[in-house]
Amino acid sequence: MLLIRKTLMQSFFLVAMAVTAGLAVNALRPDGLPLAGAAPSAVTLPANETDIALKDAALLSMSKRAIFLDARSGFEFADGHIQGALSVPVDDFERIFPGIEKDLAGKDAVIAYCDGEHCPLSGELAEKLTSRGVKNVYVLKNGWTLWNAEGLPVGKGQ
């Protein structure tokens, strides 16, 4: 019994030393491994700009990690929009925002889109969102056209 206790005690201390040394070395070295953190994702969210790629937006949409905000007019929205998107015409932002604020929290990406390569509405909407403290705001440039071209799921009506 003494032998077992001795073995366990010494093993414990040896492992404790290894854990301490390992973590200390890892913390000090410049190329240390990140110990915690989510599993690597196939989605690459740009760090310093707001444009998100269609593939990333589509992936986030499928896994419900993103919410889409349609910056076009209500009429265009009713005619067809990205499935699950909310209608937020830029001019009506102040009126609509309080009602949708809670839907935007906790998403990996809040994606504003409109239609056309040079459509300014999605950028304006993104700026307004950011200024109201919404995190992870991105713009899917030319979003409606790109989404349609790939045959991705769409919705109709209000």
Partner 1 sequence: MTLRDTPTGRDMAASRAASRAASWAARLAPALETALRLFLAGLFAYASLDKIAHPDQFAAIIRDYRLLPQAAVPFTAVVLPCLEAVLALALALGKWREGALFLSAALLAVFWVSLAVNMARGLDVSCGCFSTTKDSGGSMLWYIFRDGFFVLVGLAAWYLGVWRRRRSPGE
Q: Three-state SS for 70?
A: strand
By rule CB under 8 A, what count of residues binds partner 1? Answer: 26
Q: Three-state SS for 81?
A: strand
Burial of 151 (0-12, 13-18, 19+ CB in 10 A): exposed
Which residue in 72, 58, 76, 59 sits closest to 112, CA to CA?
72
State how far the Cα of 13 lies from the Cα of 19, in Å rounded to an integer: 10
Nearer to partner 1, 34 or 98 (CB): 34
Q: Least distance in Å: CB of 151 to partner 1?
A: 33
Q: Least distance in Å: CB of 14 to partner 1?
A: 5
Question: Interacting stretch for partner 1, rule CB under 8 A, among 16-24, 61-69, 108-116, 118-126?
Answer: 16-24
Site string for partner 1, 35-74 (x = CB under 8 A): xx--x-----------------------------------
CA distances (Å), origin 13, targets 2, 3, 5, 98: 17, 15, 12, 57
Query: Which of 9, 62, 78, 149 is in the footprint of partner 1 by CB under 8 A?
Result: 9
Question: Interacting stretch for partner 1, rule CB under 8 A, among 21-29, 60-68, 87-95, 103-111?
Answer: 21-29
Where on the chain is the footprint of partner 1 (CB under 8 A)?
3, 6-15, 17-19, 21-23, 25-26, 31-36, 39
